[in-house]
Amino acid sequence: MTREQVAGANRVVVKVGSSSLTTTTGGIDPDRIRSLVDALAGVRARGAEVVLVSSGAIATGLAPLGLVRRPRDLATQQAAASVGQGLLVHRYHEELSRHGVVAGQVLLTVDDVTRRSHYRNAYRTFAKLLDLGVLPVVNENDTVATSEIRFGDNDRLAALVAHLVHADLLLLLSDVEGLYDGNPAAGGATLLGEVASPADLVDVRIGRTGSSGVGTGGMQTKVEAARIATGAGIPVVLTSAALAAPALAGEPVGTLFHPTGRRRPTRLLWLAHATEGKGQVVLDAGAVRAVTERRASLLPAGITDVRGVFTGGDPVDLVDPSGVPVARGLVNYGSDELPGLLGRSTRDLARELGSSYEREVVHRDDLVLLPRT
């Protein structure tokens, strides 16, 4: 991957955080929005397609509601998002219209990138918007979130969206120039121009550099997003919002993360990075080897225990005898039904209970291995 290839990307996903869009008091900074839109319009002008993943709804809603800082409770966060999302998208619409570009709002929840049927619908929506020449502006649907809005989630969301739309490049914009090998505020840190593999990060001290009072992200979440995207074959550039235009033009700014893997089946990417296990099934040593080494399906005979409450179709973690997760998969049985099947062969189960029980607990096509730490 070269900077020239970055400049030639045909479909680009750009992620910008709250701190790169707002003033220190939390309101929209018109100059920052205008500068970013101008950079995106430049990419569009050369014939490429752009998807923007934009944080900032909650931050934008602070000033109109008379709030001086980001609220901690979910209800007030949702209220701020409700007020701020419309203002934010309206600002993007105004700025993009100067370039003759139409903006389209896309609000996603975790379900939209974890459930397969929703994922396919999301893909079709993006495909049609891009086919019509629209620039999608994506954000998490904070207003209807049913759990606490998680730290740095839009960085991960951007990596998943990049995979969803088959992007050629992911640009992560922060409020620092790129990835340093230490804390740049402390002095003596060096900017890493390129990261060719995870091994390049072994001696890098990654902290919360880049977080602010209005955003939730930090450098750790951006590096994790870069790992997700590059592991799926998508190059990533990480730099500051002020350097968006030169970064998209292929100039040597920020940090370029090289692809480390190939594009993966959609279900495996979201299963690994956009879900949490609803429960656990404990495997014996033989089942661990079968799943991790032979990439076999998980059968009832190899399970020794069931933990948590889940239903058929939920993601569950497969753990070894010591409780370390080794894989995650979509389970075919609920936690109320599974205990009665443990340690038994599918042939015996089918003979006693019927042919519907002659199936895997987790099929190998619905299973992804997790990194061992």
Cα separations in angstroms, 200 against 124, 163, 203, 256, 273: 37, 23, 7, 12, 22
* Listed residue (2, 49, 7, 5) closest to 250, CA to CA: 7
Pairing of strands 325-330, 367-369: antiparallel
* Residue range(s) in the chain whose domain bears CATH number 2.30.130.10: 276-369
- Is the pLDDT confidence value at 216 over 60? no
- Distance in angstroms (rounded) separating the CA atoms of residues 157 and 152: 9
pLDDT score of 215: 45
pLDDT score of 152: 44
Specify whether the CB–CB gap between 119 and 266 falls below 8 A: yes
Q: What is the mean pLDDT of residues 7-32?
A: 87
Return the CATH class of domain 3-269.
Answer: alpha beta
* Listed residue (278, 326, 241) closest to 34, CA to CA: 241
Pairing of strands 135-140, 103-108: parallel
Cα 211 from chain centroid (whole Å): 18
Take residue 330 and report the two structure tokens written for it: 């979509």
One-letter amino acid identity for 30?
A: P
Percent of all residues in the chain with a pLDDT value above 90, rounded to a whole number: 52
Confidence of residue 144 (pLDDT cuts 50, 70, 90): low
User: Is residue 65 within a helix (H) or strand (E), and if so which, with residue range?
Assistant: none
Q: What is the mean pLDDT of residues 200-215?
A: 61
* Residue range(s) in the chain whose domain bears CATH number 3.40.1160.10: 3-269
Which CATH architecture describes the domain 276-369? Roll (2.30)
Q: What is the mean pLDDT of residues 274-300?
A: 92
DSSP secondary structure string, 261-303? S----HHHHHHHHS---SEEEEEPHHHHHHHHTS-PPB-GGGE
pTM of the model: 0.82
> Which comes out higher in pLDDT, residue 311 or 140?
311
- Is the pLDDT confidence value at 319 over 90? yes
- Is the pLDDT confidence value at 362 over 50? yes
The pLDDT tens digits of the residues spanning 81-135 come to 899 999 999 999 999 999 999 999 998 876 666 566 677 788 899 999 999 999 9
- Across the chain, mean pLDDT equals 87
Cα separations in angstroms, 50 against 13, 38, 162, 241: 6, 12, 10, 16
Q: What is the mean pLDDT of residues 190-207?
A: 83
